[in-house]
């Protein structure tokens, strides 16, 4: 059964701090963030599917 994602909500907080130096995060950190987002989205999708008995 194909799954269609109709809505994606991304919440972020942006803070301005002049004393903080801008540095690019390393590749491992970015991959961990991506994996965390995918995991959270999949958990949400599976929870909604369980709640609606469409699974």
The answer as to whether 30 is a domain residue is yes
Q: How many domains does the chain have?
A: 1
Position 55 scores a pLDDT of 46
Domain around 43: 25-55
The answer as to whether 4 is a domain residue is no
Per-residue pLDDT of the chain (55 residues; tens, 9 = 90+): 677 778 878 888 777 765 555 677 788 888 899 999 989 988 988 888 888 765 4
The answer as to whether 45 is a domain residue is yes
The answer as to whether 18 is a domain residue is no
Q: Encode burial over 4-32: b for 16+ CB neighbours within 10 A, e otherwise.
A: eeeeeeeeeeeeeeeeeeeeeeeeeeeee
Position 17 scores a pLDDT of 66
Position 36 scores a pLDDT of 92
The answer as to whether 50 is a domain residue is yes
Position 5 scores a pLDDT of 73
The answer as to whether 8 is a domain residue is no
């Amino acid at each position: 059964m194909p799954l269609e994602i109709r809505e994606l909500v991304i919440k972020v907080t942006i803070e301005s701090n002049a004393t903080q130096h801008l540095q690019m995060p390393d590749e491992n950190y970015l991959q961990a963030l991506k994996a965390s987002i995918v995991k959270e989205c999949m958990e949400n999708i599976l929870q909604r599917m369980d709640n609606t008995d469409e699974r």
